A and B are shown apart, each in its own frame.
Chain A
């Protein structure tokens, strides 16, 4: 008994010593807790306002955003101790919709620890993109939650969908439509817009996952939707009003791959 307490004491001492600035609560091996991840959609330095906010892209074109949806999947968490925790596949698919009241996802049963980074796939991996219908549940149900994020005529998920009105759009209803997907083709190789994104927390901040915490730690990610159009190739709405299943979509995916960053983490 005394020996156990001594070991625990030593372990917590060690823990205190290794974490210089913050003093995270100690935890036991096998402890599990929750972690919240918020995808805060913004445009440049301002909050994204669906339908009302007016924005200008790098090509000098003015536009509004009426819809922004994207899939986040295959989440991995980087632990300060150098290990990586992979969220189990079946609880690792989320559809973020700006039109919903919340863009917050809660990851459950995460091993207690201090997490300094998160990586995820923007989109749906090829394995799930070709999975049997019974395995396409929740956000991936192409006929329910995922409706509108699935090409029924060319089986595949739309990874990111952004639409909005713009006076320079050449479509009948003056809207640009960017429906970006493509998992690499089922039998014939095709473009692949599955994007792996890795983010590191700023400074020394860490998400402290603990068992039974009243407030789950919270990773606040900024998703700058202006980067759908601005990036290695600045997209002109006038020139490319509609981009869906086309090789050009690769340029948009190459832009938005850098739209995410961890703004801050709070632990209470």
Chain B
């Protein structure tokens, strides 16, 4: 009897302790949910056009950005835990896969395309070389599920994140109450990728009149660029966000490019104009990485362009095929392209794996 009383008292004690704990937890939770997430708005460079991504649909916060960064560098996103987004998008190479013509994914399976940079994506309407995806938030589904990239299914990724020790807390911090969902994961990845802004190159500091000036050679290169390259590599994004056939000989895989997406015969062999920002860090070049250095690219435009039915008209004007470049043009152009390297972007510790 006494024992029973004791045990009742003990139970009562435990119950009270549990209630107190729950109440204090509840208070703590209320505090956390009320706690403002720290906004981390995208800084829009003054020399850039208006962004295309709907930033109000996914307001960037420090918590969301940090979650996105962790996801970006997490191999959990791949089937066998070997590949992360960062595996093929390496910061030091302006988030490309330096030295690889086409990227190798899981079990060293090879894709057919060169991995493009994660850079200034808020200003991009289309993703992938063929522009098959039109919303940044939908982009990561493709590499995660591609059998030659991460070969995983997103429902599995979500299960892995739910059973992880850290992710549930990090998703709570970034998005508040509720389960981990694919849309939260995709929006966190977008928040990180959106912050991968490259706008602090020497070129930017010259055009924004922030104290830098071009050398004579760089200025001559800029003039060549404006006359011969800027019709496609336009604006301070150095891309028109459009698709062109730049006269590459179709390779063995006969990648049809934009045609694969639109099935419009006019789009055969068209690929998205890549930005030239950090170009000196992102070799090899072209959609299939066929050119190992910038000289090979300039050679192509000077005398390698192949005429076919969808060749861009700017590369076949007045009977001149390609873009003729003198020896001096080439040297100056390369000096100019070097001014597009943004070391603060490539070395930004905020964007690195933590």
The yes or no verdict on A and B being binding partners is: yes
Residues of A whose CB lies within 8 Å of any CB of B are 130, 132-134, 136-137, 141-144, 147, 150-155, 185-188, 190-191, 245-247
Q: Across the A-B interface, give the 7 residue pairs with the lowest CB-CB distance, nearest first.
A: A143-B182, A143-B154, A133-B137, A188-B262, A152-B142, A152-B141, A154-B132
List, in ascending order, chain B residues with CB within 8 A of A143's CB. 141, 154-155, 158, 182-183, 185-186
Q: Compute how far the CA of A151 lies from the CA of B260 in the bound complex, rounded to whole angstroms.
A: 12
List, in ascending order, chain B residues with CB within 8 A of A154's CB. 132-133, 260-261
Question: Which residue of the partner chain B has the closest CB to A133?
Answer: B137
Q: Are the C-beta atoms of A147 and B153 separated by less than 8 Å? A: yes
Identify which of B125, B132, B182, B187 contacts A144 (C-beta below 8 A). B182
B64 to A: closest C-beta gap in Å: 13
Tell me which residues from 35 to 75 in chain B have a Cβ below 8 Å from any Cβ of chain A.
54, 57-58
B324 to A: closest C-beta gap in Å: 32
B184 to A: closest C-beta gap in Å: 9
On whether A247 and B263 interact (CB within 8 A), knowing A132-B57, A133-B135, the answer reads: yes
B234 within 8 Å of A by Cβ? Answer: no
Q: Are the C-beta atoms of A141 and B146 separated by less than 8 Å? A: no
List, in ascending order, chain A residues with CB within 8 A of B87's CB. none
List, in ascending order, chain A residues with CB within 8 A of B187's CB. 133-134
Question: Which residue of the partner chain B has the closest CB to A132?
Answer: B57
List, in ascending order, chain A residues with CB within 8 A of B182's CB. 141-144
Q: Compute how far the CA of A143 lies from the CA of B156 in the bound complex, rounded to whole angstroms.
A: 10
B61 to A: closest C-beta gap in Å: 15
Q: Are the C-beta atoms of A144 and B134 separated by less than 8 Å? A: no
Q: Are the C-beta atoms of B263 and A155 separated by less than 8 Å? A: no
Identify which of A132, A142, A144, A190 contacts B264 (C-beta below 8 A). A190
B151 within 8 Å of A by Cβ? Answer: no
Q: Is the interface of A mostly helix, strand, loop or mixed?
A: loop
Q: Are the C-beta atoms of A188 and B137 separated by less than 8 Å? A: no
Q: Compute how far the CA of A136 lies from the CA of B57 in the bound complex, rounded to whole angstroms.
A: 13
Q: Are the C-beta atoms of B264 and A136 separated by less than 8 Å? A: no
Q: Which of A133, A134, A191 is packed against the most chain B CB atoms within 10 Å?
A: A133
Question: Which residue of the partner chain B has the closest CB to A246?
Answer: B263
A40 to B: closest C-beta gap in Å: 28
Q: Are the C-beta atoms of B158 and A144 separated by less than 8 Å? A: yes
Taking residues whose C-beta sits less than 8 angstroms from the other chain, chain B's interface range is 20 to 34
B16 within 8 Å of A by Cβ? Answer: no
B255 within 8 Å of A by Cβ? Answer: no
List, in ascending order, chain B residues with CB within 8 A of A185's CB. 262
List, in ascending order, chain A residues with CB within 8 A of B134's CB. 130, 155, 186-187
List, in ascending order, chain A residues with CB within 8 A of B10's CB. none
Q: Are the C-beta atoms of A136 and B142 separated by less than 8 Å? A: no
Q: Compute how far the CA of A224 lies from the CA of B261 in the bound complex, rounded to whole angstroms.
A: 31
Q: Compute how far the CA of A247 lies from the CA of B262 in the bound complex, rounded to whole angstroms.
A: 10
List, in ascending order, chain B residues with CB within 8 A of A187's CB. 125-126, 134
Given contact pairs A134-B57, A152-B146, A246-B263, a sample of 14 additional A-B residue pairs in the complex whose CB atoms are under 8 Å apart: A132-B57, A133-B138, A133-B186, A143-B141, A144-B158, A147-B155, A152-B133, A153-B146, A155-B138, A185-B262, A188-B262, A188-B267, A191-B263, A245-B263
Q: Are the C-beta atoms of B135 and A155 separated by less than 8 Å? A: yes
Identify which of B132, B158, B185 contacts A153 (C-beta below 8 A). B132
B155 to A: closest C-beta gap in Å: 6
List, in ascending order, chain A residues with CB within 8 A of B126's CB. 187
User: What are 25 A-B interface contacts by the 8 Å CB criterion?
Assistant: A130-B134, A130-B135, A132-B54, A133-B137, A133-B183, A133-B187, A134-B57, A141-B182, A142-B138, A143-B158, A143-B185, A144-B181, A147-B153, A150-B141, A152-B138, A152-B141, A153-B146, A154-B133, A154-B260, A155-B135, A155-B138, A185-B262, A187-B126, A187-B134, A247-B263
Question: Which residue of the partner chain B has the closest CB to A137?
Answer: B183
List, in ascending order, chain B residues with CB within 8 A of A134's CB. 57-58, 137, 183, 187
Q: Compute how far the CA of A143 lies from the CA of B157 in the bound complex, rounded to whole angstroms.
A: 10
List, in ascending order, chain A residues with CB within 8 A of B329's CB. none
On whether A153 and B137 interact (CB within 8 A), knowing A133-B186, A134-B187, A147-B155, the answer reads: no
List, in ascending order, chain A residues with CB within 8 A of B181's CB. 141, 144
B145 within 8 Å of A by Cβ? Answer: yes
A145 to B: closest C-beta gap in Å: 9
Identify which of A144, A152, A155, A191 contacts B155 (C-beta below 8 A). A144
B128 within 8 Å of A by Cβ? Answer: yes
Question: Which residue of the partner chain B has the closest CB to A182?
Answer: B263
A191 to B: closest C-beta gap in Å: 7
